[in-house]
Amino acid sequence: MEHILGQEWEIVPAGGATGEAFYASYKDQRLFLKRNSSPFLAVLSAEGIVPKLVWTKRLENGDVITAQQWLPGRELKPHDMNHENVARMLRKIHRSEPMVGMLSRLEKQPLKPEAIFQSVVVDLDEEVLSLPVVIETLSFLLQQVENVFCDEKVVCHGDVNHNNWLLTEDNQLYLIDWDGAMIADPAIDLGMLLYCYIPVDNWTSWLAMYGKPLTENLKLRMKWYVALQTLYSIQFYKNKGRLEEMDKWINFLNDLL
């Protein structure tokens, strides 16, 4: 990275799973650098969903480096997810036509429930598949798959965990880490956010801030996608050897059903 910015810049790894992200600082300039970000980043920046994209540079080897503003701030805490600014930001994302258009140009097709189901179940190993709660969940998912079709297809983030929300010191809210973006049912984002952070008694009022009524159909779609995402999480943490977190999601699934 030094040969792009110059030797005077201090560059440190930003952590993360890929090791492809860095923080860079020089005097009062601060940047967040990432290798091979999606072209989708430009639209996210233009829409005010992520910190501003400053520049993009293509290297001789074909890699693309993007630089965004590195803004001082903090991740949201779980209790922050009940705030109106979170509901409004998610509504803005789900109603953005430029974002749908850009993902479509990147050859992202709208995902149907059956395709998402297959993409998760194919990776479940025999040990996970033999768990009674997983057997019960798969039965529920198959029984309801035809009832969760939704005409509305929006850009979904796919991982609205509180750690992916950035609140800056000047009170600007951003949703970062868009590597799993997809065009799909908004219930994918809404379900995990509500089930993980919002008491059931507050769902109606939270969704009113978002701009949607809590219908029986939306409840079913959210439960369906949350169950599917939980199966993914159980297998993910098992693969990582993080068995305590795997057990947490197994218990979550028991409570869900």
One DSSP character per residue, 175-223 reads: E---TT-EEE-THHHHHHHHHHHS-GGGHHHHHHHHT----HHHHHHHH
The tens digit of pLDDT for each residue in 63-81 reads 888 899 888 899 999 999 9
- Pairing assessment for the beta strands 182-184 and 154-156 based on DSSP bridges: antiparallel
CATH architecture, domain defined by 74-256: Alpha-Beta Complex (3.90)
40, 103 contact by CB (below 8 A): yes
* Percent of residues in the chain assigned helix, strand, coil, to nearest 5: 50, 20, 35
pLDDT score recorded for residue 48: 95
pLDDT band at 27 (very low <50, low <70, confident <90, very high): confident
Active site residue 159: yes
pTM of the shown model: 0.89
Domain ranges of the chain: 2-70, 74-256
Which residue out of 28, 125, 159, 189 is catalytically annotated? 159
Give the C-alpha separation, 160 to 75, whole Å. Answer: 12
Pick the CATH number of 2-70 from 3.20.20.70, 3.30.200.20, 3.40.50.300, 3.40.50.1820: 3.30.200.20
Instruction: Compute the CA torsion angle 216, 196, 199, 257 (nearest 10 deg).
Output: 50
For residue range 149-173, list pLDDT tens digits in order.
999 999 999 999 999 999 999 999 9
| Polymer length in residues for the chain | 257
Q: pLDDT confidence of 106, banded at 50, 70, 90?
A: confident
pLDDT at 37: 79
The pLDDT score that the predictor gives to residue 18 is 54
b vs e for 107-133, b when ≥16 Cβ sit within 10 Å of the residue's Cβ?
ebebbbbeebbeebbeebeeebeebeb
213 backbone dihedrals φ, ψ, rounded to 5°? -80, 155
